[in-house]
Amino acid sequence: MAVERVQSAIARARAKRAGLETVFDADDIPMPDDDDVVIEPVAREDWNLLPKSGMTASILDRARIVTGGVSKNATAFDMLRTKVLQRMKAEGWKRIAITSADKNCGKSTVALNLGFSLARQSELRAILVEADLRRPSLAKVLRITPPAGLAQVLRREVPFPKALVRVRDNLAVLANRARSPDSAELLHSGMVPSVLAEIERAYQPDVTIFDLPPLMEADDTLAFLGNVDCALLVTTAEHTTTTQIEACVREISDRTALAGIVLNKYRGAGAITGY
């Protein structure tokens, strides 16, 4: 039942979007003024110098990370990884956001599982950035104690190499140990594009995953979507309504590409549905 509900919401949203696309005029998009783009030189940082924190089986278990190794439980996320990677490679995308209508849908859990699944492909390098500064959870669930988080990096209090921790040889996390009351100002600030570009220039990740706040909570998530190439929408079988899904699909599609919709906390088969 839940799967049909999500699928019909997706179909309706897609039909509406198709309608919108026919009136879309590329000339309406304001082009950035060349003078606004400041590219500062950033040295290539040594990825191998980032501190590494060992992940025990019990940490992974408690964090509900099922993609640490090959297993039946990992299959759904591995399929999601493969689909997302194919699309990202085909489109030349590097940044993917994970969001949902509401809190507790499993954004962080999906972001972590996608990150660990990507990390099983040794030729890839991935960074997971926790941009949910109101309800940060990654440092806690991964049992890591980074000296600083995204908030301090965006305030330029700490250089970003000090905040990244590797949880796999090829997966680093920029997590937060505490909430930031000025989350909206930070995520809206002009620092975001510069800091993200600096991190990419320094470490050359193939994929950067952003664990975002809920979409319907505040407009900082909407603003942040302008910084990513695509987004995954996480829904739950029990709590996300069709109206919420349609609204989220609309908001995401207005700002970036919708890479897919994940149906989480579903007890039946087929926990993942595409877009």
Q: Which of 107, 128, 105, 117 is nearest to 75 (CA)?
A: 117
Tell me how far apart the alpha carbons of residues 116 and 69 are, in angstroms, rounded to a whole number: 9
CB-nearer residue toward Mg ion: 87 or 107: 107
- Token readout for 104 is 């507790």
CA–CA distances in Å: residue 214 to residues 95, 112, 224, 241, 251: 18, 16, 11, 14, 12
Q: How many residues make contact with Mg ion (CB under 5 A)? A: 4
Least distance from ligand ADP to the Cβ atom of residue 109, Å? 3
Residues between 56 and 115 with contacts to ligand ADP, criterion CB under 6 A: 64, 100, 103-109
The one of ligand ADP, Mg ion, none whose footprint includes residue 170, by CB under 5 to 8 A per kind, is: none
Beta bridge partners of residue 211, listed in sequence order? 98, 130
- Token readout for 264 is 């989480």
Least distance from ligand ADP to the Cβ atom of residue 191, Å? 23
What number of CA atoms fall less than 13 Å from residue 46's CA on the CB side?
3
Map residues 117-146 to x or -, x wherever contact with Mg ion holds by CB under 5 A: ---------------x----x---------
Residues between 203 and 262 with contacts to Mg ion, criterion CB under 5 A: none
Least distance from Mg ion to the Cβ atom of residue 127, Å? 17
Which residues sit at the interface with Mg ion, rule CB under 5 A?
Answer: 107-108, 132, 137
Which residues sit at the interface with ligand ADP, rule CB under 6 A?
Answer: 64, 100, 103-109, 135, 137, 264-265
